[in-house]
Structure 1
Amino acid sequence: MYEQPRTDDRFRVRILRRWYHGCWVLFGLCPPVIAVHDRIDATKYGTWALVAVLAVTYFVLRCFPGNPLVRPSGFLWVLVLVLGGTAILLDGGAAFFIVSLPMFWIYTATQRQAIGFIGAAAAATLIGTFTGTPFSPGNVVFTLIGLAGGVLLGLWMDRVLEQGEERARMLGAELERTQSELVAAHQRQGAAEERERLAREIHDTLAQGFASIVVLAEAARAGLETDPVASAGQLLSIERTARENLTEARVLVGPAPTGGVVSGGIAPALRRILDRFVEDTGLVVDAELHDIGCDQRTRIALVRCAQESLANIRKHAGASTVSIVLAEGTSGPELEITDDGTGFSPTAARGFGLNGMRARLAELGGELTVTSSPGEGTRIFAVLPADDRT
């Protein structure tokens, strides 16, 4: 009911208004022109002149809606005068008045203004009806009915629009709250995922390094007097492990890419890890490492799986022989690590290491399979899809 729709469904309002404006031109402006086309007195030209002035005012308003010199109230006053003039010339104008009622609601800003213009238009139409000859009681009745109906229907529609706007505001506020909650949930989820990632990185790098340092330090201390050469080698391993841990710590807290000391091809990285493992544990390791091509994330995931598996073998398996195979499988890179240790029940395992390996591989679309039973050794099999490789 206003020049700018007050609801969010503006497209529908614009379509309805275009339909009404077309109907107003067709059933409001055209009938008076057609009604006098066969007359030869002043009524014909007077009616045409009034309709022409109204049409020009209407099209100026439609063509220049934002111009401060073109005011809707000016058009409405012209409409009031034309309704009165055509009522005089055509011996009544109830039909033109009723067809024009929505104009007063469309081009006013408040209910009071709309009702005021409708009252003025009804008065002008009634005056014209009473002035014209012959007098038409039917035009008076229909004008009064149109006045009452136009006011009541307009107030009802205005109320409906206000309720629609209120619902739209409530929905908008609810949408904003939902969006804020969603953003907060995403932030919490991101923080939780980052904490999990850091925990996994710390467990697979720093924690394993510190555990190795502790074992080596205990062995070195025990052999200081009986085997100083072995103790010196163990102290050297402690130094290297500490330096690697320092590098990993800098990676975790600095701007360097995730992955730490994992660099170069995957096979050389695994050989370095195995050399350290053999040096620290003295176990027999059978390695078959194919230098397959893979991206950085795949390389890091497989190397971390190897580190975690070897750390578990050293701490829990009590194994004498370890086998590790890196190969190109039918679906992608495959890493298999087996030992002849004491084994365990995978369903009863609650450690962070296995879950961390599964999560790391799952992020890349891979899968971890653990096969073991008490007294039967353990087989760790990691596979990643070929699509994740370069």
Structure 2
Amino acid sequence: MNQRPWSGAELPVPSLHRWNAVLWVLLGLVPPAIAVADAPGSTRYPALATLAVLALSYGAVGLFPGNPVLRPRPYLYVLVVGLGGMSYLLDGGAALFVVTLPHFWIYAANPRTSIALSGLAAAAVVAGNVVRQGWGGEFLTGNVLFTLIGYAVGVLAGLGVRRITADADERARRLSGELEEARLRLVEAHQRQGATDERERLAREIHDTLAQGFASIIVLAEAARSGLETAPATSARHLLAIENTARENLAEARVLVGSAPQSGVAPGSVAATLRRTLDRFTEDTGLAVTSELPDVACDQQTRIALLRCTQESLANIRKHAGASTVEVVLTPYAYGVELEITDDGRGFVTEDSHGFGLNGMHKRLAELGGELTVTSSVGDGTRILAMIPTTTTDGQV
């Protein structure tokens, strides 16, 4: 492993760093200071001075991590010399060495440096002890054995912790990569879902506006053509209706392509909007339409939804019902507004109906928190009930 310069980011988290400092002071510096309290001055003063240098060096590294002069590498060399000196002065020093071992793993740039510097410190402790006893004394004392065993255990523990930390970092990086990949997939899924929702919205708008308008134009054009010779006045009215419907379709098309800023629905109350739609339906089909349309207070989205439901229902009545009368009732309630459209046509089996129009009505109302109820049976006509909750809770008309 290549050696790299130390940076402050390699220090342990502040809480662990503080605990390490407290334990080192209490178990490493305080016991030797107490031990030399009654020693002769030739031993006491150098020992206390050495402990003070170690404490000040450690404090300087911790308090000024950005100072290039106070980088941990010089501090570790100070530790090596200080541990050797304390071993000589105390005729021991193994306990201080063992308590100080974590510093070599915390502040060294890599495991190789940690092993080398802690080994150098162990050698300094052994050398201090040997020099103190003299070269003719016993070499394998308890202090020397404890130092060597502590060094071996420290190396194994340090490598183990480094391995655990490296594995944890690798798992964290792998998890981070997986989370990022999942986030990207989620973004793509949201984009695809957004595109799908937008396509469905456009399809629904086209069906409820342009398609219905073109269907009306076809019916009116056929009626106008058949009455050119026998009923020119009626044909003229049909041609005028075709012109108006085409203009409305053009306005709706401009809304769909984004060249018009509004919804394409003429401003006004929902009652006025529905009356215009019913008048156009009566004019185009000749069917009798009765209505109860109070001026219900509602927002623009609700007004558009009620209009689209009415347009779709009337288009189905014209194309499929064969009805003679149609009734439209708009009713405000405390919880919202209801639109009921009934006809006396041939009816149908609701379970067998899966048309785009009814599905579009269901989805449009669901987007506003509303519901669509379709009641029909063969020969008994059809009842469409649309309910939309509104912000107006007093039910005022």
Shared topology, TM-score over 0.5?
Answer: yes
The residue that corresponds to 1:78 in the other structure is: 78
Q: For structure 1, which runs of at least 5 residues remain unmatched after alignment?
A: none
Percent identity over the alignment? 61
The residue that corresponds to 1:374 in the other structure is: 378
Cα 1:74–1:166 shift into 2, 3 Å: same
- What SS class does the counterpart of residue 384 from structure 1 fall into? strand
The residue that corresponds to 2:26 in the other structure is: 26
Matched-pair contact (CA < 8 Å) for 2:334–2:392: no
Cα 1:41–1:69 shift into 2, 3 Å: closer
Matched-pair contact (CA < 8 Å) for 2:298–2:391: no
Q: Distance in 1 between matches of 2:243 and 2:264?
A: 18
The residue that corresponds to 1:68 in the other structure is: 68
1:67-95, Cα deviation, whole Å (9 max, x unpaired): 22221011111111110011011001100
Q: Give the superposition deviation at 1:39.
A: 2.6
What is the TM-score of this pair, normalised by structure 2? 0.93
Give the letter aligned to residue 234 of structure 1.
Answer: H
Give the letter aligned to residue 115 of structure 2.
Answer: I
**Of 214, 217, 238, the match for 1:213:** 217
Give the letter aligned to residue 332 of structure 1.
Answer: G
Is it true that 1:355 corresponds to 2:359 in the alignment?
yes
The residue that corresponds to 2:148 in the other structure is: 144
Q: Distance in 1 between matches of 2:324 and 2:56?
A: 102
Give the letter aligned to residue 114 of structure 1.
Answer: S
The residue that corresponds to 1:292 in the other structure is: 296
Q: Give the superposition deviation at 1:18.
A: 2.6
Q: Distance in 2 between matches of 1:325 and 1:341?
A: 17
Q: Give the superposition deviation at 1:154.
A: 0.9
Give the letter aligned to residue 374 of structure 1.
Answer: V
The residue that corresponds to 1:310 in the other structure is: 314
Q: Distance in 2 between matches of 1:374 and 1:192?
A: 35
Matched-pair contact (CA < 8 Å) for 1:309–1:380: yes
Q: Distance in 2 between matches of 1:171 and 1:138?
A: 48
Q: Distance in 1 between matches of 2:68 and 2:257?
A: 62
The residue that corresponds to 1:89 in the other structure is: 89
Q: Give the superposition deviation at 1:4.
A: 5.7
Matched-pair contact (CA < 8 Å) for 1:313–1:339: yes
- What SS class does the counterpart of residue 102 from structure 1 fall into? helix
Q: Distance in 1 between matches of 2:393 and 2:236?
A: 42
The residue that corresponds to 1:125 in the other structure is: 125
Matched-pair contact (CA < 8 Å) for 1:357–1:368: yes
Q: Distance in 1 between matches of 2:313 and 2:254?
A: 24
**Of 269, 278, 281, the match for 1:277:** 281
- What SS class does the counterpart of residue 289 from structure 2 fall into? strand
Q: Distance in 2 between matches of 1:258 and 1:83?
A: 83
Matched-pair contact (CA < 8 Å) for 1:364–1:388: no
Give the letter aligned to residue 36 of structure 1.
Answer: V
Q: For structure 2, which runs of at least 5 residues remain unmatched after alignment?
A: 1-5
The residue that corresponds to 2:108 in the other structure is: 108
Cα 1:261–1:385 shift into 2, 3 Å: closer
**Of 214, 222, 235, the match for 1:231:** 235
Matched-pair contact (CA < 8 Å) for 1:244–1:261: no
Aligned length, in residue pairs: 385
* Farther-moved stretch of structure 1 (15-24 vs 256-265): 256-265
Alignment of 1:143-292 (within 5 A): 143-254=147-258, 256-257=260-261, 259-292=263-296
- What SS class does the counterpart of residue 323 from structure 1 fall into? strand
Give the letter aligned to residue 174 of structure 1.
Answer: E
Give the letter aligned to residue 380 of structure 1.
Answer: I
Matched-pair contact (CA < 8 Å) for 1:84–1:126: yes
* Farther-moved stretch of structure 1 (373-382 vs 58-67): 58-67
1:172-200, Cα deviation, whole Å (9 max, x unpaired): 11111101100000000000000000000
Q: Give the superposition deviation at 1:3.
A: 6.1
Give the letter aligned to residue 331 of structure 2.
Answer: A
Matched-pair contact (CA < 8 Å) for 1:262–1:300: no
Matched-pair contact (CA < 8 Å) for 1:295–1:389: no
What is the TM-score of this pair, normalised by structure 1? 0.95
Q: Distance in 1 between matches of 2:316 and 2:261?
A: 27
Q: Give the superposition deviation at 1:257.
A: 4.8
- What SS class does the counterpart of residue 280 from structure 2 fall into? helix
Cα 1:362–1:388 shift into 2, 3 Å: farther
Matched-pair contact (CA < 8 Å) for 1:92–1:132: no
Q: Distance in 1 between matches of 2:177 and 2:329?
A: 59
Q: Distance in 2 between matches of 1:125 and 1:246?
A: 95
- What SS class does the counterpart of residue 260 from structure 1 fall into? coil
Q: Give the superposition deviation at 1:298.
A: 0.8
Q: Distance in 2 between matches of 1:133 and 1:41?
A: 19
Q: Distance in 2 between matches of 1:357 and 1:290?
A: 22
The residue that corresponds to 2:3 in the other structure is: none
Q: Give the superposition deviation at 1:156.
A: 1.5
The residue that corresponds to 2:387 in the other structure is: 383
